[in-house]
Amino acid sequence: MGKLDQYKEIITQDMDQLQAMMESNTHISNPHVVIEHLCNIRYKWVFLSEEDRDYIHGCDTAIEEGIPWNDN
């Protein structure tokens, strides 16, 4: 596995963790934890897919407005 593939795997793990946080509504109960995790993802922005970027924008909105996250 090359370095780029390893980096993409790390990004996938970071996004999976973000999804778990959002689905458990951690962004409402403990927003600073989610914001810190988002900061760790943002520096990889150029490597993120358009889908991941859109997801992050949705997370930002949910955090700012205190909207519960539903996967339904």
15 assigned to some structural domain: yes
72 assigned to some structural domain: no
45 assigned to some structural domain: yes
Tell me which residue range forms the domain holding 20. Answer: 3-65
Closest C-alpha among 20, 25, 8 to residue 63: 25
pTM for the complete prediction? 0.91
What is the DSSP secondary structure assignment for residue 48, as one 8-state letter? S
Rounded distance between C-alpha atoms, residue 51 and residue 1, angstroms = 24
Rounded distance between C-alpha atoms, residue 72 and residue 31, angstroms = 22
For residue range 2-35, what is the model confidence (pLDDT) as tens digits? 988 898 999 999 999 999 999 999 999 999 999 9
Rounded distance between C-alpha atoms, residue 28 and residue 46, angstroms = 28
Q: What's the number of domains the chain is made of?
A: 1
Q: Answer for the pair 26, 33: CB distance below 8 angstroms, yes or no.
A: yes
For residue range 41-68, what is the model confidence (pLDDT) as tens digits? 999 999 999 999 999 999 999 999 999 9
61 assigned to some structural domain: yes
